[in-house]
Structure 1
Amino acid sequence: MNASIRKLPIGIQSFEKLRQDNFLYVDKTAFVYELAVSGKPCFLSRPRRFGKSLLLSTFEAYFQGKKELFKGLTIEQLETDWLEYPVFHLDLNAEKYTSPEALVYILERHINGWEDVWGKDTRENTLSDRFIGVITRAYEKAGRQIVVLIDEYDKPLLQSFGEERLQTEYLKTLKAFYGVLKSADRYLRFVFFTGVTKFAHVSVFSDLNQLTDLSMLPQYATLCGITHEELTRDFKPEIYALEKQYNISEEEALDRLTQMYDGYHFSERSEGVFNPFSLLNTLNFSRFGSYWFQTGTPTFLVELLKDSEYDLRTLIDGVEMKEAAFSEYRVAENNPIPLIYQSGYLTIKDYDERFHLYTLQFPNDEVKYGFLDFITPFYTSVGDEDNGFYIGKFVRELESGDVDAFLNRLKAFFADFPYELNEKKERHYQIVFYLVFKLMGQFCDAEVRSARGRADAVVKTRDCIYVFEFKLDGSAEAALKQINEKGYLLPYAVDGRKLLKVGVSFDADTRNIGEWLYQN
């Protein structure tokens, strides 16, 4: 089959459109049936563009009894009744929430639509009164319980992050509106919330303690996203097209797809999943790219990192946390990691059963290098455009053996810092070194020290291995001496490539690189 004639569902959020227009569908309907039959009110947190809206649209079609849309899917063999229920689908994703009125408007717009179908009582004035009223009337007129689907429940809160007045207004409005679902429990057949975050304490969920949070349950880890098995089962023509485009084997194509887009784990000991948006775009265009990262910029997350003075090196190497610390986000706490995790820039990579500790790291290369590239201008003088210090130039200079050019570029890099950055702590400059060498890892084998007893940085090119030691208020000679005395070259003695020691002094007064020496 020619991959070009197959329609991949990029950006398709309507299950009905997907099925009627013959888009390819990765069958998740076994999950839909299992959750629907359980009847429990549910919440699912997943990063943006992970298929949450399509999942809710699938629930909507199922509860509307649209059996014809599920022909050939797993659920067709499971469901026999195909009963039709009133479905109230609230989508908060499309609006721009710049004022309290914007949220009120979209809630009213949905309620007006429901009231057009199920009737209106003029004595109901508040949003909450109207919501419980229309639920009750729908139940009485249809003779069946109601299904409530709420997509991106937290969009107003995320858009107003850092604006305390708006946050307070949105929390007040949403808490009262969603709280209706607790008192309306006897009228409800099924309730499903999706969102990116789980806000705690002053939460919109504080009145909804009956919600089952699926976000970290192992059996639902692959509810959104694409597994390796699904990739190789459902996308054979597209994988073949990718092989031809890049002149690589199937194994190489799958390895590269895995390295770039796989690696999301939403529970301990759970199967990893691919980012569906990036994977589908890559397979659709037969072109590797940073599709997910480019659709949204985590500016407010970087501001959180800077405001909290969180050590960026810790985040890059992996953060250990207890489940309670990152499964909910407490607005008042000065900890950016939970929101970074829930937003999809970190994921679960390891779990310590004994101490119940999770290790959070970047899921894959797309996110890792996309995030590092994005945050570099926040910590350095590098702009979004190429201003002469693009990281590739550092790599080329070492590949050509030009240590002086590399260090002169690095020196100019520091000299170009704005004055206010020069007043930052010493750690800021350590982070900048860290960023430079981590980013070089996209193009060559580059390591930067994360523990004592190792050189500050090691860069391996085709012909040479460079071992760097930077000395704060020390001489270049002292840096070279430390490389020798600590045996930093020993692990590479039998490598066969040329070994080069580079000692660099760093002057705290000028806040820049001073002298440097290098030798074989």
Structure 2
Amino acid sequence: MKYPIGIQSFERIIEDGYVYVDKTHLIYDLTHSGSIYFLSRPRRFGKSLLVSTLENYYLGHKELFKGLAMEKLEKEWNVHPVFHVDFNGANFTKEGVLETMLEDYVNKWEKQYGLHTNRELETGLRFRDVLKSAHEQTGHRAVVLIDEYDKPILDVLDMDNELEDRHRNVLKAFYSIFKVADAHLQFVLLTGVTKFSQVSVFSGFNQPKDISMDTRYETLCGITQEELDRYFAEPISAMAIKYRCSTEEMKSLLQQKYDGYHFSESLTDVYNPFSLLNALDSLQIRDYWFSSGTPTYLIRLLAHFKENMNELTGKYYPPEEFIDYKADVERPLPMIYQGGYLTIKDYDMRRNRFLLDFPNNEVKNGFLTALVAAYLQPRKQLSNWIDDVVDALEAGEADTLCTLFTSFLASIPYTMRRKEDETEKERYFQYTFYLIMRLISVYTVYVEKVQSQGRVDCIVETPQYIYIFEFKLDGTADEALQQIEDKGYAREYVADSRKLFRIGAVFSSETGTIGEWKTR
């Protein structure tokens, strides 16, 4: 089986015999139900392949769809003029790159249709004339496909406000011609990661229909469980043999690592296609999506976190709070959601609220690692440290945990610690503790778990051990242990056969690391 890893050309996938998960029944429905659409999906989620499939469909390449659902659904196969704009390959941090790219596209199209337009005319108006001419010359209305429409903005977001505003205005002027050229348009699709609103680049033309959370098209990109079972049974069996487990256990491992995305209230599970295909090809479970590159805008976004990541996850939100991005880096939730770092986990129909959390282990671990690196800037190698902590938890070595926590906290530069006042100090250590415990959550980890008599700082459950942590800032370990007893934090585990550790630990604001650690 050949896997189309990194291949975004539908034509190449079909002609060269790569596996193609048939989405053409959804594409047929999409193209026959409306005309102007917007679709948001995370990076490397198949948006470019969708655009390429649409391009070949509208160009009438019937032979490429042999054996696919589209072959039976489409009867006419009309050939339309297609205009494909792909912003993927350019770096828009330099002034003038966006204008040059659009100019180049329009020049090429003018030559294609024999137009000799005044070059002093705005690029958008020249494109309007191209669309009109293409319609008149071919007898069929034009199709416009714009891939990663938001990249010119994301590349400079929160980095160069002047260039960001300029890119918005250029794109707004270019897209505004869709309104005046409406009579010449058959179909328009804009794809991207983020939907910008209020300061919208879309405001110059009729608002596209946003299908990002449309139940009918939630599986338009990505791979469902049914598709995984139908197309990839053989490599899953091969992985099971390699990992010395059953097929069902192998499927469970793949689900935990790469599944869990939901794009509507129907909560249909969708796998990250990039990671899944890489895993099936190499027969290795690894962090493919996150290790393929953290977007620079996310790194810049992380710099704005003020001890609030623990307030974002595991909460219900109205859709307007995470769907529309209003270019406010102090409110990062929409960007984190649309970037694929959070997803819908539940839907409360009565209140129209969505529960957001990490989609799977790959994203959770990758995102938190990036967040820790940006927030704490530790000198220790995070992955090695996490492995050591997990080993200690598995072995029931509470004293080793003390050593590991002490050394990690000591590796954080002094300049990163909050020193302004007692409230800031406490928030810093609370957030540091939260990030650390989320990072090592290979097993069941409860952070600030609510019980009948209070809120436990942390409980970690492994197959053989239970660890109850209570942390104090500049207090004593005895005070922490006494709180565990007074509040009855261990009461729910009285009948549990696993060995229980009660750990009282003290953060020292003076040294920035563990000041005292006692186990009972």
- What range is the shorter-chain TM-score in? over 0.9
| Counterpart secondary structure, 2:249 | helix
Kindly report which structure 2 residues correspond to 1:50-449, keeping only aligned pairs within 5 A, or say none: 50-125=45-120, 126-162=122-158, 163-309=160-306, 311-315=308-312, 317-332=313-328, 334-383=330-379, 385=381, 390-423=385-418, 425=424, 426-442=426-442, 444-449=443-448
CA offset digits 1:36-69 (Å, max 9, x no partner): 1224211100001111111111111111111111
Q: 1:344 is matched by which residue type in structure 2?
A: G
**Cα distance in 2 between the residues matched to 1:409 and 1:239:** 37
- Report the counterpart of residue 497 of structure 1 in structure 2: 498
Range with greater deviation from structure 2 (195-204 or 465-474): 465-474
Alpha-carbon deviation of 1:509?
A: 4.5
| CA 1:376–1:59: 2 relative to 1, 3 Å | same
CA offset digits 1:295-337 (Å, max 9, x no partner): 121453354244252512123x423221112111101362001
| CA 1:358–1:497: 2 relative to 1, 3 Å | same
CA offset digits 1:159-183 (Å, max 9, x no partner): 1111201101100110000111111
Alignment check: 8 A CA contact 1:264 1:347 kept: yes
**Aligned pair partner of 1:15 in 10, 13, 17:** 10
Q: 1:350 is matched by which residue type in structure 2?
A: D
**Cα distance in 2 between the residues matched to 1:101 and 1:298:** 22
**Cα distance in 2 between the residues matched to 1:283 and 1:327:** 32
- Report the counterpart of residue 28 of structure 2 in structure 1: 33
| CA 1:341–1:158: 2 relative to 1, 3 Å | same
**Cα distance in 2 between the residues matched to 1:214 and 1:268:** 13
CA offset digits 1:378-408 (Å, max 9, x no partner): 2224247469x71222233344444333223
Alignment check: 8 A CA contact 1:221 1:270 kept: no
**Aligned pair partner of 1:43 in 35, 38, 42:** 38
Alignment check: 8 A CA contact 1:100 1:170 kept: no
TM-score for the superposition, normalised by structure 1: 0.94
1:479 aligns with 2:460: no
**Cα distance in 1 between the residues matched to 2:427 and 2:393:** 25
Alpha-carbon deviation of 1:261?
A: 0.8
CA offset digits 1:442-463 (Å, max 9, x no partner): 2x44332244624212233454
Alpha-carbon deviation of 1:362?
A: 0.5
Alignment check: 8 A CA contact 2:377 2:416 kept: no
| CA 1:208–1:324: 2 relative to 1, 3 Å | farther
TM-score for the superposition, normalised by structure 2: 0.94
| Counterpart secondary structure, 1:48 | coil
**Cα distance in 2 between the residues matched to 1:30 and 1:69:** 15
**Cα distance in 1 between the residues matched to 2:126 and 2:379:** 50
| CA 1:140–1:330: 2 relative to 1, 3 Å | same
Q: 2:156 is matched by which residue type in structure 1?
A: S
Alpha-carbon deviation of 1:11?
A: 1.4
Range with greater deviation from structure 2 (95-104 or 421-430): 421-430
**Cα distance in 2 between the residues matched to 1:176 and 1:446:** 50
| Counterpart secondary structure, 1:89 | strand
| Counterpart secondary structure, 1:456 | strand
Alignment check: 8 A CA contact 1:381 1:413 kept: no
Alignment check: 8 A CA contact 2:502 2:519 kept: yes
Q: 2:400 is matched by which residue type in structure 1?
A: A
Alignment check: 8 A CA contact 2:325 2:334 kept: yes
Alignment check: 8 A CA contact 1:39 1:189 kept: no
| CA 1:119–1:167: 2 relative to 1, 3 Å | same
Aligned residues: 511
Range with greater deviation from structure 2 (473-482 or 69-78): 473-482
- Report the counterpart of residue 460 of structure 1 in structure 2: 461
- Structure 2: 5+ residue stretches without partners: none
Q: 2:465 is matched by which residue type in structure 1?
A: C
Alpha-carbon deviation of 1:493?
A: 1.6
Q: 1:327 is matched by which residue type in structure 2?
A: I
| CA 1:57–1:48: 2 relative to 1, 3 Å | same
Q: 2:98 is matched by which residue type in structure 1?
A: L
1:515 aligns with 2:511: no
Identity of aligned residues (%): 47
Q: 1:46 is matched by which residue type in structure 2?
A: R
- Report the counterpart of residue 3 of structure 1 in structure 2: none
